[in-house]
Amino acid sequence: MATHCPHCGWLDAEPYQTISRRLDRDSSQLVWTRCACGSLQLRRHQRGAEPVVVTRGRPTADLVAAPKASTA
């Protein structure tokens, strides 16, 4: 998995926090993780294959820095 979070650039191969895991009907593992920026991701881990990010949320507002106002 050589992709990065589009919100902060964190490497997807290194999840910041694992929230939960469960087995799916086809014996793949579904894993909810949180990125360093706070976005939630659902990953599918199938046997013999690299994990795939199935869906990704936006970062939480309290973890994202607000844009600085210009003082002109």
Tens place of pLDDT for every residue, the chain, 72 residues? 568 888 888 888 888 999 999 988 888 899 999 998 989 999 998 888 888 888 888 887 655 555 555 555
Q: What is the maximum alpha-carbon separation in the chain?
A: 59
Q: What pLDDT is stored for residue 33 in this prediction? A: 93
Overall domain count for the chain: 1
8 Å CB contact between 56 and 33: no
| Domain membership flag for residue 42 | yes
| Cα 28 to Cα 45: distance, rounded to the nearest angstrom | 6
| Domain membership flag for residue 69 | no
| Domain membership flag for residue 23 | yes
pTM of the complete model: 0.70
SS3 42: strand
| Domain membership flag for residue 70 | no
**Domain containing 15: what range?**
1-60
3-state helix, strand, coil in the chain (%, to 5): 0, 35, 65
| Domain membership flag for residue 15 | yes
